[in-house]
Each structure stands twice: as C-alpha cells, then as structure tokens.
Structure 1
Amino acid sequence: MSYQKRSKDELARRVAHDIHDGAYVNLGIGMPTLVANHLPEGVEVILQSENGILGMGPAPAAGAEDFDLINAGKQPVTLLPGGAYFHHADSFAMMRGGHLDICVLGAFQVSATGDLANWSTGEPGAIPAVGGAMDLAVGARQTWVMMDLLTKQGASKIVERCSYPLTGLACVKRIYTDLATFACTREGLRLIDTVPGLGHAELERLVGLPIATA
C-alpha cells in the first residue's frame, strides 16, 4: 500500500495535538515555530522564546509584522494579552530552572535512546556554537524533536548512535517526523503512530533499527 508524507503544517498540527492545556512551551528555531499556528482552540499554551518573550501567539498576518517583536530565529511573532518580554538572562534562568514543560527542537540526528545532535554537522562554515539548545534540551521537563525522518540522501536521521556533536544525552522523549511518531526509551524506539499505509516492516527498513510497538 502506498503512503504519503505529512506536510510541514500537518506535522506541526500533529505535535500541537499532544501539548497539554496550561503547558509552558519553547518552540525551537526552524520547523518547530510552525506549531504556534496549529494549537487547538480552547487549549491555553504559553509559548516562550529564548530571546526573552513569554506569551507569544501565532505568526502575524502578511503586512502586520512588527520587526521589533521577533523570536529567537528572528521571525516576527505576535504577543497575546498578558504576554511579556524581558532580559535574555531571565529567559535562560527560566529554561535552565525547569520551568518549561516542553521544548520542541529540530535535529540532525537523534539516537534510539534519546541522545540529541542538533547544532552542527561538522561541515566547514557551520554554526560555531550550540546556542540555547543545550539549555533547553536538559532544562525542559520534556524534550520533543520535530524533523523529517530521512535526509535528502535517504539516510535515517534516527540512528543507533549519533555521529554529529551532541547537544544532550538521553534527553529526547518523543520524535515527531513526516512519516511516524516515536517514543525514545532506554530499550530503544517505540512506535506511537505512522502515516496511513506505511507498514511496520517498511518503517524498520527506512530507520534501520528495531521499533517496538508496545
């Protein structure tokens, strides 16, 4: 049976569905920022940005951007009633102090047991430092990764052991991808869901690792 990948917005909607009411959440640079546009109505989620914002809303409409109000990825954002912005140091104290329920990060690689590599591939000209990702990965109560399952070359980004520089050890609890959702456990990967039509054997072939179903 054939299957179709989740689009970026469908993947963002899938992540948003699992965020509980009242959660304080940091959305990392890149694809994770799309989650803000898909939070369900009637669910209060307080979004934090590491450059010092709490209470962000969805992306502004075209033409309504305020470039004095941006997230850590320099994208224009909106501020909901009651929202606030504050010093960068206070933001990192929030991140490091265990005050965030969830952070959603992108990744280059995630190991089956939850090691995270998301800041450098080691290529010349790459980003020179890890930024706030290390603080988020170990400071949030849950770290989720949102990414494509495969590289452009068709290799799995979920690996037995990360070959890229590590951001954090055993910190990732869930991996949301365009083909399936996984939990990372001490024993390895556990399947949460897949796109319709993608069989378990084919998914294991793509990932190259055993995937438990219960």
Structure 2
Amino acid sequence: MFATSALFTDRREAGRRLAKAVAALGLSDPIVLALPRGGVPVALEVALALRAPLDLLLVRKLGAPGHEEYGIGALVDGADPQIVLNDEAMAIIKPPPDYVEAETQRQLIELERRRKAYLGSRQALPVKGETVVIVDDGIATGSTITVALRALRKAGAAGVVLAVPVAPLDTIDRLREEADGVVCLATPEPFGSVGQHYVSFGQTSDQEVVDLLAAAAAGRHAG
C-alpha cells in the first residue's frame, strides 16, 4: 500500500521509533507482548531495544449462542488464560452457564492450536507480578486492546503499559483509564484506518511471526 501522507515506512521502522519512546520510560525488566500478527514486527524492535523477552498475546472472542459474531466476552491467552465477559452483552443474551463454559473450552483449544503453530511447545510467559508492555501496529476502536489490558490486570500483572505507533486520540484517551501508561507516537485526525499511516502495510504471515519470535530470542541471548 502506498500513502502520500504515511507516518511510517513499515512496521519495523515504526517499531524502532516506538522503542525509543518506551525505553525512555525506564521500565525495570519488562515483558513485551505482541498482538499477532501485525503487532509482532513492531514488538520485536521494542523487545530488542529493552532487551526484554517477547511473547504473543492471543485473544479469542466468546460468541453468543447461534450468533458467533456477537461477542459476549473474550478469552486472553497466557500462562493462566483469562476470561473477560461483556456485562452488557451478557445481560442482553443471558446465555446459560454451561454455554459459557463450553464456548470457553472451545476457544481454549483454538488458542492452544495457534500458540503451538507459532511457538511449538514453548509455554506462555507468566505475567503475575511482572511489568508488561503490550504492542500492536496501531489501534482503531481499541476493543481488543481493552480486553487484553483487563485480562492482564486480572492475571496479576504488576504494571501494564500500552505502546502503539498510531491510534485515534479519543481511543487513546479511553485506554489511558485501562493502562498504567500509554505510549502512542501519533494521533492523526481524521484517523481513517491503521494501514493508511504506513507506506508498506502488507499482511504479516504466520512464518514471519515464527521467524520474528526466533529473532527476538536470539537477539536477547546475544545481548
């Protein structure tokens, strides 16, 4: 994609710029979690700059009975996967308890499948008591990030920082209430889509995710 008003060349370049801003926070021994797939190239640069471990944060929607596209909550991957329910949606749908449990188990299987595809047998990094930096390539509505932030809180993270290259200002303002810190390099208005702020915004493949995670591990070991 080519955009004459683009703010970033590609995800890696955005990540290097974002890394400088996050490094300036002076976080102590953080963990970097990327939202796949597009968040991984950005997060790699942040992790390398901080000499921090890099892991994925996988999120799966819990769909309503008969209407899977309508989310009643979400399941967030981790050493101790967390369920975050949408109270408003739950009040409207009123799903039976056994449905929520069954849907959760179904999505747990999918989370495990995806984690194995990206990381093999490697287990998720525990976040309890840790400072966590969540990274994505950009935010539009912020719904997935909101769920992720709340799940990390529920999992006992000591501190949660959100770091993204670009997002709408009103979305960032809302997310400041969910995180201990927010780093966002640009809040252009009108916002449009995340991709229009990059010169190159091709889809990140599964193999690229695997390769980038390996590069993060190798870079940290070398450091």
The TM-score by the shorter chain falls in which range?
0.3 to 0.5
| Higher-RCO chain (CA-CA 8 Å, sequence separation at least 6) | 2
Higher share of residues assigned strand: 1
Could you state the TM-score of these two structures normalised by the residue count of structure 2? 0.40
Could you state the TM-score of these two structures normalised by the residue count of structure 1? 0.41
